Amino acid sequence: MTTMKNSIHDNANGLDYTLVNDHYLPNLTAAAPAEQHPTGRWGRLHKRYLKEHHPIRYNQLLLSGELSGYLAKMDKQAEEQLALTVQQMQESEGVTEALKAANQLEWVRRMNSIRNRAEEIIKTELIFV
C-alpha cells in the first residue's frame, strides 16, 4: 500500500494541490480586485442593462476584472454629458438667473423639463446601447 503525499506541486502549470480524501484538488484562491471604483446612478443603470440585454459582454467584463472601471468611466462620461446638455438647453431656451429672480416657479418648471429631457437623451445615447 502506497501512502499519498498531503500536497504536491505541478511544475507544468505551476499549481499546488492538496489531498482531500483520495483526490488531489488545486489550491485556488480568488484574486482580489485591483481597484474598486465608485459607481453612480448611470453606472448602475448601465450595469443592469448589460446584465439583462448583453449578458456575454457583462460576463466578459466581470470575469476580466474590468467591470468596475468600465462602469465608473461610463458614469463619469454620462454625468459630464448631462451637465453639458443641460447647460446648452438652458442657453437655447433662455432659462437664466434673471428668470430665476423674476419668477422662481417658472424657472423650476423649465429647469425640471430641461433636466428630464437631458436625462432621456443620456439614457438613449449612452446607457441603453
pLDDT (tens digit, 9 = 90+) per residue, 44-79?
A: 999 999 999 999 999 999 999 899 999 999 999 999
How high is the pLDDT of residue 81?
A: 97
Q: How sure is the predictor about 121, in pLDDT bands with cuts at 50, 70 and 90?
A: very high
User: Whole-model pTM above 0.75?
Assistant: no
The number of residues in the chain equals 129
128 neighbors 49 (Cβ within 8 angstroms): yes
- CA angle (48, 54, 57) in 5-degree steps: 105
95 neighbors 111 (Cβ within 8 angstroms): yes
If you search the block for the grid coordinates 422662481, which residue do you land on? 104
| DSSP bridge pairs for 25 | 18
As a whole number, mean pLDDT of residues 6-30 equals: 82
Structure-derived torsion over alpha carbons of residues 95, 75, 129, 32, reported in degrees to the nearest 10? -170
Please check the confidence at residue 100 and state whether its pLDDT lies above 90: yes
